[in-house]
Amino acid sequence: MAVAINESEIINYYDKCQVDYEIIWHLNTHMCMHYGFWDESTPNLRSALNNMNKQVALYGGVKEGDYVLDAGCGVGGSSIFLAKNYNCKTVGITLSDKQVASATENAGRMGVGDNCTFQRQSYLETNFPDNTFDVVWGVESVCYAFDKLDFLKEAFRVLKPGGKVVVADFFSVPLEENTSEMELMDKWCKTWAIKRYAEIEEFYTKMEKAGFANRGQKDATENVIPSIRRLYYSFFPGIVVTKVSEALGFRNSTQTANTWSTYYQYKAFKKGLWKYMLYTAEKPK
């Protein structure tokens, strides 16, 4: 493995900032910690959140009854969607014990507890046997791997021959070190406990390096623009509230940084520094 993942920072971010997703992103009802997928069928954020799971499943070729590894499962939204809509058996893994507990509770509440299990594991080094899963699913979670090849190699190992990996995430355009553009992207990454986004073509190339075939990539940036803007507009009242609340001891510096992420992601988007991409690839039979 290239470099160990910064587990403690990631756990701290998600454990402390889960409340932010509950406040502005319908986490308690829709259980999604992603940007959503906006198209002509989505009149509001709730619809877009549901639609992201649908579009990723379609793009990744998820089939009825597939056995799915939800790599970076959050509070279980994708696993629950796959169980309810595709009768999939899923295993969701996350670094956060808090998320394991929330996801397990959510699956039970939604009536799919028998189909969905959740564990504390790193998707870079799991304890699953070779050739276990039909699908490895990573929605806005693969960004946390230092070297995305580490994730892809482990996904390849645990997939059955003919199995597929499908990823939806943020990816960087090529940037030079020690520039204002890279500084802006690094500021955004830091607010989410991410070290660095992979470049678009770099990730595509690494899928082949990991052994995958039948690779596909799709630019879905247009489909997340309403969320990019929604988060940016929330920054201005949000930063006032969070700074006052931090001063009074009701919020913390991690949550304040999370509020700043809504500003940095928009500024970087306006400069054309990143895109939202879907990727899929198949383990050869």
pLDDT tens, 23-61? 999 999 999 999 999 999 999 999 999 999 999 999 999
Tell me the CATH class for 7-282. alpha beta
User: Per residue in 203-254, pLDDT tens?
Assistant: 999 999 999 999 999 999 999 999 999 999 999 999 999 999 999 999 999 9
Q: Identify the three-state secondary structure at position 266.
A: helix
Q: Average pLDDT of the chain?
A: 97
Residue 196 gets which letter from DSSP?
-
Q: Where are the domains of the chain?
A: 7-282
Beta bridge partners of 280: 166, 216
Q: CB of 50 within 8 A of CB of 30?
A: yes
For residues 194 and 6, what is the distance between their CA atoms, to the nearest angstrom? 8
Of the CA atoms within 13 Å of residue 233, those in its CB half-sphere come to: 7
- pLDDT above 90 (res 279): yes
Q: CB of 72 within 8 A of CB of 56?
A: no
For residues 229 and 128, what is the distance between their CA atoms, to the nearest angstrom? 40
Q: Identify the three-state secondary structure at position 49.
A: helix
